[in-house]
Structure 1
Amino acid sequence: MIPIILKELSTELEKLKLESVKINAIPVNTEESLTIIQSKFLGIPYLPLQYEYPKDKNGKPMILIAQINFEEIPHIENYPESGILQLFISSTDWYDMDDYKIIYHDEATNEHQTKFPFLMEDLYEDSPVYCEHKLEFIKTTEFGGTEDHRFNLRFNNMDFYEFCETLTQDECKTVENFFDATGHKIGGYAYFTQSDPRDYEKKVREDILLLQIDTDEQIMFGDSGIANLFIHPDDLKNKNFDKAWFNWDCC
């Protein structure tokens, strides 16, 4: 719901409206066991029987950071209604953002790999995700994110930060919460602790948020950082994830 203080901007805000799916990531306790095809952060990946396990540039097994089974999430326009999306990163060299793999399996079958004896504990020592998480999904609507390069809303000819300086502390908090793009999610507006990399690369300027993984009690990229996957809208519609890309930054 649009706050009263922003009602005069309702028309402009409606143009910015995007659907997204918020993700509630819950650490898995020792008594739980997620299925291989289930959505998760960390854990054992779904891989078809003949699929080679992803390896980094040094030939070491990569680690699964995120797996999204689209059959489990509320549908949002242009995003898949089925299939499994995965993010694998190098267990040691993921910091430079050039040793990762984004994989999409068009369907999940019962014929899949079940044993990964090479996934030893030492591979996870530098993982930004500290433990396996099960994921819950809630569909929501966003009207902008102040760090996303698409957010160009003017407030009585002021930018967002100038506008906030004219408000009371409570009003400012309300507006900041309304445009808050933090958190784990699929789609919607992206958040960054530094700046939006799409501002500096013309070839990816039209790319949209595929998946966002934020810092919480059991997840941290660098120093309270945030990770994003991006993809061009046409590639997303066509389920072509070959050019999807990974970015993270921190304070």
Structure 2
Amino acid sequence: MVVMMAEDRDAAQALVQEIVRRIVRDTSKMAVSFTPELDVRPDLLGNFVGGDSYWSPQGVPVTSASGDPLYPLMQIRCTEPTIPGYPTRGLLQFFIGTDILYGCDLSADYESEADNDNRCVRYIPEAPSVLNGAEVVQLPHIGADSSDPDLRTPFQSDFHGCALRPALIEDPVSHECDEFEPAYESVLEEFDPAVIEAAEDTLGDLEQAVMDQLNVVSPGACFQMGGHPVFTQSDVREDYDDELVLLKMDSYDGVLMWGDSGCANFLIRREDLEQLDFSHVLYTWDCL
């Protein structure tokens, strides 16, 4: 009996591995991951997160309609590596407000986001090779635990910016996206129902075992452009084909924290990205 139970468990685990392999096969999308290099100072013409200063043409800070400076969140240099459909030159800059929601309008959609002046995604097609002093704007560091309740960012109080190391990855869907369920069900249809039932009897919850294993094999990039978004509450997208990940920023120890271990997403419709129109980017974040 003990031998039979061990064989059943081995067979169930092998099925989990195969289901995960097929989900990865069916759902993986190209993405650029960005790994913080905590001991490397930001290159203001490269990839970086946070920092006390940022580059702006003629040294003009990015501001809201009220004139308050928006805070530099992250910058992507789009030259290398590149993924299909995304800019291949210039800089993408992300700025957020310093209110308690970090400039996010939780009720916004793609159309209304154009009216949200408390965040900004800016594309600079041509970047200089060298900066001069007039192109650098200095802003005071603001941390998540700022003593001023009107000035907040998700950055940790002792983090002052660092460089990011980019790399190409294949990003499979996670269970935190609505695409997971149809992908999972589609793969199950490829197996004999009796095999699925036997695995359920052995594991108790086959789907949970698949989700756990998918987390193990996923590249797990905290910061990335492209691929799949991550939602800690619920998927906010209307569909899966036209809404692309411009930037995903997960909470990262020692760097930034979105509420209670949350994640932020900057999502853009395919047609807007093709036109390099970043006025309707949907910025949202949620937490546990």
Question: Are 2:97 and 1:90 equivalent residues in the alignment?
Answer: yes
1:225-250 deviation line (CA, Å, top 9, x unaligned): 11111011122223221211211001
- Identity value in percent: 23
Q: Which residue of 2 aligns with 1:191?
A: 230
From 121, 140, 143, the equivalent of 1:102 is 121
Structure with bigger gyration radius = 2
Q: Retained in 1: the 8 A contact 2:34–2:165?
A: yes
Q: Retained in 1: the 8 A contact 2:251–2:257?
A: yes
Q: Retained in 2: the 8 A contact 1:62–1:91?
A: yes
**Partner letter of residue 134 of structure 1?**
A
Q: Which residue of 2 aligns with 1:40?
A: 48
Question: Are 2:154 and 1:128 equivalent residues in the alignment?
Answer: yes
Q: Which has more helix, going by share of residues? A: 2
TM-score in terms of structure 1 length: 0.79
**Partner letter of residue 256 of structure 2?**
I
Structure 1: which 5+ residue stretches go unaligned?
none
Distance 1:36 1:171, change over 3 A: closer
Shift of residue 166 of structure 1?
4.0
**Partner letter of residue 209 of structure 1?**
V
**Alignment partners' CA distance in 2, 1:206 and 1:168:** 28
Q: Which residue of 2 aligns with 1:241?
A: 278
Q: Which residue of 1 aligns with 2:7?
A: none
- Partner secondary structure for residue 127 of structure 1: coil
Q: Which residue of 1 aligns with 2:69?
A: 61
Q: Retained in 2: the 8 A contact 1:208–1:230?
A: yes
- Partner secondary structure for residue 230 of structure 1: strand
Shift of residue 61 of structure 1?
1.2
- Partner secondary structure for residue 107 of structure 1: coil
Q: Retained in 2: the 8 A contact 1:186–1:210?
A: yes
Shift of residue 103 of structure 1?
0.7
From 36, 42, 55, the equivalent of 1:25 is 36
Q: Retained in 1: the 8 A contact 2:90–2:123?
A: yes
**Alignment partners' CA distance in 1, 2:235 and 2:34:** 21
What's the Cα RMSD here? 3.3
Shift of residue 180 of structure 1?
7.2
From 244, 260, 266, the equivalent of 1:208 is 244
Distance 1:239 1:168, change over 3 A: closer
Number of residue equivalences: 238
- Partner secondary structure for residue 54 of structure 2: coil
TM-score in terms of structure 2 length: 0.70
Shift of residue 223 of structure 1?
1.1
Q: Retained in 1: the 8 A contact 2:56–2:136?
A: no
1:178-233 deviation line (CA, Å, top 9, x unaligned): 357662111101111101111xx57x973111111111112101111111110111
1:58-96 deviation line (CA, Å, top 9, x unaligned): 42211100111112x411111111111111111235446
Q: How does 1:123-162 map to 2 (within 5 A)?
A: 125=146, 126-130=152-156, 131=159, 132-151=161-180, 152-153=182-183, 154=185, 155-156=187-188
Distance 1:223 1:123, change over 3 A: closer
**Alignment partners' CA distance in 2, 1:57 and 1:182:** 34
Q: Which residue of 2 aligns with 1:78?
A: 85
Q: Which residue of 2 aligns with 1:116?
A: 137
1:99-157 deviation line (CA, Å, top 9, x unaligned): 2111111110246643425x234588322123212101121112322222233211525
- Partner secondary structure for residue 266 of structure 2: strand
- Partner secondary structure for residue 25 of structure 2: helix
Q: Which residue of 1 aligns with 2:112?
A: none
Q: Retained in 1: the 8 A contact 2:143–2:155?
A: no
